[in-house]
Structure 1
Amino acid sequence: MTHMTPTTRAAVVLGVAVALTAGLAVAPARAHAAPVDPSATSVTASPTTASSPPARSSKSAERAIAAFTSRGERGSTGAPVSPDPTSTSVPSVPSVPSVTTPAAVSQTIRTTPTTTLFRGGLYVDPAGEAARAATTLTSEGRTAEAAAARTISKQPVATWLGSWLTDAQLVKKIDGTVAAAEKVGATPLFVTYNIPNRDCGSHSAGGSADNAAYLRWNSLVASRLAGHRVVVVVEPDALTLISNCPEQTSGREATIASAVATLADAGVPAYLDAGNSNWVPPQTMAARLKAAGVDRARGFATNVSNYYPVESERAYAEKVSLATGGARYVIDTSRNGRGWKGTWCNAPGAGLGVVPSVQTGTTKLDALLWIKTPGASDGECNGGPAAGKWHASYAVQLVANRATG
């Protein structure tokens, strides 16, 4: 499917929003998520509110979202759009209305089967960060490191979006990933990582200049994702870090709630980040999630960029789910194959966790995902390069220590 012009896309966004509206404990360990610089080619080795119309019946709401989620199945007939970091053309940002969605729509987002939400399976990006690293390392004759990167590249890994991309690069990254995923009938996973005062000024410091700039950026993201079958994880660490730097995060819940509402109005299922089982107590996190608009989202994500075992995360997530009215959740297993190793930053001895998979059981668990890019550095710690850069020797360790079974 040929991608639409910004003007046409704006009309689609508004149409989707109208259609859906009518029918439908500071921790001893941080979960740190490093940004990814898609233009980087160097590879580093370690040295050693509007009023709502009346809601339709729930069956009408189900039909509306079913029609929406099926659009991605038709796929794209054209070639994927490749990101062009040299482009200076920035498309106009369509206005995504802030509309209060009837309860039926929110419940439909919550209750849509995972087989529908992730129809076609999770998308594996053949030009993702690990694949690019493998190509570079091969050209440099670093055979073992290239092999590790290639192993990681064969799994579906989330595509991160943040301030390291210009608006033009952001649009082309989203459009190219969506087009390639639709061509093979799979569902891509994105991560938004651009909240103001990101990471409390630590290794992954940055983000939007202020809340207004962030919400404009988020509207651009939503406008490009509207009308496509995609899933988004919203702002890793943003809610948990309220415990660590409250002076930098005042009002953050309201900002995230507005961002989530914009995604929901565009028909995009979102998971808000909820830390991990050893950070913020479940009841406290549930309160933050509620304030941040989890009722408009699919649910929440845990263990992003961290190492805790699936069993610990499920026990934690089920408590959070119960306290948020049954919100669904996903767990990051990208680096938890050996469990917690005493530090969050490029933890020595860590290994890849179980490969990503969509779940269909009786709990609220939707999927086990690789949200963090395994092999991307957490920052300049434990021999790693800057946050987001490929850490070749660490990738080798992760593959060597990977979980079995």
Structure 2
Amino acid sequence: MASLWKHPNSPFWTACYTDETGKQVKKTTKQTDRRLAMKAADAFEESAKKARAVELTGAAAVKVLNELMERTHGEGLDTRSTRQHFTDYLTGLKARGTKEASLKRYKPIFDGFLAHLGDARANARLASVSGQEIEAFRDHEMQAGKTAATAGFALKVLNGVFEDARRKAAILHNPVPDVLKRMAHTAKATSEERHPFTNDQVTALLTAADTEWQGMILLAYHTGIRLTDAANLTRTNLDGKFLRFREAKTAHRKQRASERETVVVLAADLVAYFKSQPVPMKKDAPLFPSLHGKKPGSAGGLSNTFARLMDTAEIDRGQGKAREGKGRRFSALSFHSLRHTMISRLANSDVPESVAKAMSGHSTDEAHRRYVHLDTEAQEKVVAKAPRLWSKQGAAA
């Protein structure tokens, strides 16, 4: 039978009972009230008895802990199912005023994850969901045709549910970050790589494009500006010989977007282009009226319009394998490749990295280097400058 003992120097009662191996043990109850401490001690011994009899199943353990919580704290464990956690989390987002567009993006991810788990696992407690199940869901998404970026976004959305549950003590550990870390390491070795355009390809694009798209292409080629940021420029962004703008917020650029202004000196091409265009009367008038405010995605979106422009210019987009279901089909060449083109051109021209980072708006070296594609000519120049340490006779010079 369980009993209590109290150390003279401790405010807490200690439970004395026989553990699952038959050994007499002591364990603190973390209770200062003797009555509540006795309830905890009885629960410890009851669970140990069941364990000795090989009766302590997962369900029995939860029941014992639930009863212990009710006796000592007045409320039991959070035994809501995984499905209920997701439903409650979505309801909470709505109550906090989350945008409808975001909710529409999250719900298919939640539904897809629960469907992947199956009814039995979705109706089990959230704490039982393992990292392996989350990783299996990510693999399933990619096998269905999603890009690594899309699958990664889905995991970040799931992370919100698990982290919310962890903060509320419904679970002890959030398994999603560990999966995201492993995914990041794998992506470094297996990621699909964007390519830069050649000058001839850019010339072909300019020839095939209308006036507004010509301006968009020139801007991205010379400044590295992103598609949506370029389309939403107004007259206020032009400041003499400078282009000033702040990056728009996206799912992948929530932190650094709009925190600082990117300032780029306009190249001669851009100065000539804007001089050839009518000057808008209003300061907030868009530079590209027919493209302003358009979304990058969807059939009539900016990305697909540019893709059709590449087809007209007879440029091979370097598309990956066709995808099943939802998800973008990866293309080695896209509007974003013009950003790679600009940054690679600077790197191949021996422009100091600090200047290239300032022009591209990159805040870290790691982000900047992903855009650098050094050509062999630039490498040859570097190799030619290396000191000669080996003579024709095979001896050190």
Is TM > 0.5 for Structure 1 vs Structure 2? no
TM, length-normalised to structure 2? 0.26
Tell me the TM-score normalised to structure 1 length: 0.25
Bigger radius of gyration, 1 or 2?
2
